[in-house]
Amino acid sequence: MAQEDITSKIALKDGVILTGTVGRYTNGILEFKTKYGILQIGQEDLLYILVSQYDQLDDSYHWPCIVMKNGDVITGMLESYTPETGVKIKAEWGELTVNKFEEISLIILGYVEMQSYKEEGTTDEYEWHGRLEGY
């Protein structure tokens, strides 16, 4: 039984944020459906996936992990996702499967640093997303 498409946002390492639905994630390639078409994005270009109503990145998550809607955090890497097989996660202590994509709030694929700063002479506040080197 196919799962319902869930609107998500993805953040790329170059700062681009896209809205669409996750089709599948296999062999390090994310299939992401947008109004512009279906994009295939390599894991090396992805920072994180914000799932459904989770509309912003909480700055407490800086490492590869999966945050569940119930608040549980699974430290590990996304291995694969298809609607048929669920979300496969490789954690330090083993592998596990989350059967329903909608149970997940956030997937962080790379190391993220978030810093708020104000531009000198203005009241504008910005956020910076980037890769922590050395990991």
Kindly write down the DSSP assignment for every residue of 47-74, as one continuous string.
EEEEETT--S--TT--SSEEEETTS-EE
Q: Is 69 contained in some domain? A: yes
The answer on pLDDT for 29 being more than 50 is yes
Residue 108's nearest CA partner among 53, 33, 57, 54 is: 57
The answer on pLDDT for 64 being more than 80 is yes
Q: Among residues of the chain, what percentage have pLDDT more than 70?
A: 70
Q: What pLDDT does residue 65 have?
A: 87
Q: Is 2 contained in some domain? A: no
Q: Is 43 contained in some domain? A: yes
Alpha carbons 51 and 1: distance in angstroms, whole number:
20
Range among 11-15, 109-113, 123-127 rated most confident: 11-15
Q: Is 94 contained in some domain? A: yes
Q: Is 67 contained in some domain? A: yes
> How many domains does the chain contain in total?
1
The region of weakest confidence among 43-47, 48-52, 86-90, 118-122 is 118-122
Q: Is 37 contained in some domain? A: yes
Alpha carbons 46 and 71: distance in angstroms, whole number:
23
Q: What is the mean pLDDT of residues 17-44?
A: 93
pLDDT band for 130, please (50, 70, 90 cuts): very low
Residue range of the domain that includes 95: 7-131
Q: What pLDDT does residue 93 have?
A: 86
Q: Is 122 contained in some domain? A: yes
Q: What pLDDT does residue 54 have?
A: 52
Higher pLDDT, 103 or 115: 103
Q: Is 126 contained in some domain? A: yes
